[in-house]
Structure 1
Amino acid sequence: MRTIHFSRLIAVALSLTLLAGCGTQAAKSGPTPSAESAPSSESAPASSTLADEEAYEPVTIQNGDQTITFTKMPEKVLCCHLYAAENMVMLGLESYIAGKNVPTNPAEMPLDELKPKFEGIPEVERSHENAVALGTDLVIGQVSAFKETGWGSYEQFESKGIHCLTISGTLVPDETIENVYEDIENLGKIFKVEDRAAELIASIQKQIAEVQEAVKEVPETERVKAFVLDTFNGNEIYTTSSGLQSNLIELAGGINTTRGMADSRWFNTSVETLVEVNPDVIILNDYGSQTIQEKLDFLNNNPALREVTAVKNQAYLTVPLVAVMQDVRAASACRTFAEYFYPECFA
């Protein structure tokens, strides 16, 4: 059985985090939270001195339809999703994080290299009351996070003087890796660590370019056809029509067999669709209450799928959903896809 579980970590993660820990030398474009060293998960968020506040040049961010102007450095950030927190930690900004969401699945864990930085970050149950109780002055999350039934609406936060920064990829119909760069760049501007942000973006770009170089000779007729199985319910399958995961599959030289099948990014389809597109590989997203074993049993025990190429060859690739969301893991996920699709290109 050719079943691989996603385990590749971002090779540059540790080096960049250590670089961020080298103090102001790693962030020449702005101040770090501490005068002595870069942020540490063991230290409390450092309040800006009066001089720092006077030196902070206002930053204006265009975030979808919203224009957000920061007149001082945010000090207590609520990250509604793991990937929002990972982006901040990768930029050496962990001491600014007042709290993050509670994981919903064992796969929703920080990268191993970053785990020590997460030890001092509180996990907060989702509610508007909890968000406000943190004393937060900036909330970062998907557009879906900003609902009254979630962390709170934009209006609720704005009425309390709390800024909301939406993950840019969730504001557009078809998210790509460019949106990941935009989010990192925005953090660099807000926290005056533009140099760190530029280095991180350049590193991701380099890794993806290396993947594309490795698979560029694959003939169009031999490109691997992939199908994403997010979840299933009966004979109904939830899969992707567009967005970052589809973009990463394509950057890795593959074909998303359900690309463009729906106007929405994610949609429900049938077992018949899976039979019709007949993928070479099935990618299983690991998250939520439905286990990978349940998804494998669904595929392997359904007589209608017996002749599907990926099922016959047991060509299953498991990835944590957080690996294909809006953060620094994107380059690693892209390479994992490519190595599984075309192992001969990486021999």
Structure 2
Amino acid sequence: MKYLPFVAVLLGLAGPALAHPVTVQSCDREVTFDAIPQRAASNDVNLTEMMLVLGLTDRMVGYTGISGWNKLDADMRAGIAALPELSEKYPSKEVLIGADLDFWFAGWNYGMRIGGEVTPETLAPFGIPVYELTESCIHIMARDGIAVDDMFTDIRNLGTIFGVADRAEALITGWQSELDAIAATLPQQDPLRVFVYDSGEDTPFTAGRYAMPSAMIAAAGGRNIMEDVDSSWTRVAWEPVVERDPQVIVIVNYGDVTAEQKMDFLRNTPAFAGIDAVVNNRFVVLDYVEATPGPRNIRAIRTLAQAFHGQ
């Protein structure tokens, strides 16, 4: 994804901005913006990429929570070259206040922790409104499930907040067309059993029912074997992984342990020797920015569909 040319095209498509004030739903809150934010920041690589694809860097004063866990690829480096990283990992309240923010895009376990020092409530007295990543809302409220549409919701709400609603809708329309095209290629067969391996050797960190990979796997013709785990990103035991015998394992690539090292661990651990995916060496690697909600989800669904069905 090349941001600058794409953003230039979208600028040409953008119609008149919605008049402020505007109100959007953020988890269990309604948040009203009297004016378009001018000093915004985002947390994590995937949320920052949502800001970039909407062409909002001129409204941003920085970003948080990327280099502490992830390395930026060439597109991301180009997109945020002029912006400082305000904090390598989760920011403190003082960091955000010191940057004089008038908007922060974050989420629960994407920059904020329940009961932590940085939450919508603790930032409100300092005039910093927070828009929460939809996928993360499960940590503070009940939800029916996860869908790729949740990423569309975030793009649409950001478009409303920043007065680029037409730009947001153009993106969503294009992505939906891609999803429809992928769906049309899927064979009529039972969904493949799929396990998402993020990290961890003693106990694996994986995607449960409410994490975006569950929706992505379903859109690609598979079924997350941990879809009955009522959480988003969480730890499980290895025993149910072995018992449910995944046919494909999705490796989330980031951090100090490489994707190849994660695959080697699975291949070389005797307890996993009988797992269908290990026996047949069926691994799919997705970068963190592809496996978490963001613009690269659609491309990642195509990658999954090709890996699942050989198309």
TM-score (norm 1): 0.80
Question: Are 1:246 and 2:214 an aligned pair?
Answer: yes
CA deviations over 1:309-335 (Å, ceiling 9, x no partner): 211121111111221212111101111
Given that 1:87 and 1:327 are in contact with CA atoms closer than 8 Å, whether structure 2 keeps it comes out as: yes
Which residue does the alignment assign to 2:264? 297
CA deviations over 1:192-217 (Å, ceiling 9, x no partner): 111100000111111111111111x3
Given that 1:98 and 1:122 are in contact with CA atoms closer than 8 Å, whether structure 2 keeps it comes out as: yes
Cα separation, 2, equivalents of 1:116 and 1:268: 34
Aligned-pair identity (%): 26
Structure 1 stretches of 4+ with a deviation exceeding 4 A read 12-15, 147-151
Equivalent runs, 1:122-137 vs 2, <5 Å: 122-125=84-87, 126-137=91-102
Equivalent runs, 1:95-134 vs 2, <5 Å: 95-101=58-64, 102-106=66-70, 108-110=71-73, 112-125=74-87, 126-134=91-99
TM-score (norm 2): 0.89
Given that 1:168 and 1:183 are in contact with CA atoms closer than 8 Å, whether structure 2 keeps it comes out as: yes
Instruction: State the AA in 1 paired with 2:163.
Output: K
Equivalent of 2:21 in 58, 70, 74: 58
Equivalent runs, 1:1-347 vs 2, <5 Å: 10=1, 16-20=6-10, 22=11, 25-30=12-17, 56-101=19-64, 102-106=66-70, 108-110=71-73, 112-125=74-87, 126-144=91-109, 145-147=111-113, 152-172=118-138, 173=143, 174-215=145-186, 217-220=187-190, 223-234=191-202, 236-242=203-209, 243-260=211-228, 262-343=229-310, 346=311
Given that 2:3 and 2:52 are in contact with CA atoms closer than 8 Å, whether structure 1 keeps it comes out as: no
CA RMSD of aligned residues (A): 2.2
Please give the secondary structure, in 1, of the residue aligned with 2:62.
strand
Cα separation, 1, equivalents of 2:82 and 2:47: 16
Q: Specify which structure has the bigger relative contact order, considering alpha-carbon pairs within 8 angstroms and separated by 6 or more residues.
A: 1
Q: 1:211 to 1:69 in 2, by over 3 A?
A: same
Task: Give the structure with higher Rg (CA).
Answer: 1
Question: What is the CA distance between 1:267 and its match in structure 2?
Answer: 3.5
Greater CA deviation, 74-83 or 149-158?
A: 149-158
Cα separation, 2, equivalents of 1:77 and 1:180: 19
Given that 2:3 and 2:79 are in contact with CA atoms closer than 8 Å, whether structure 1 keeps it comes out as: no
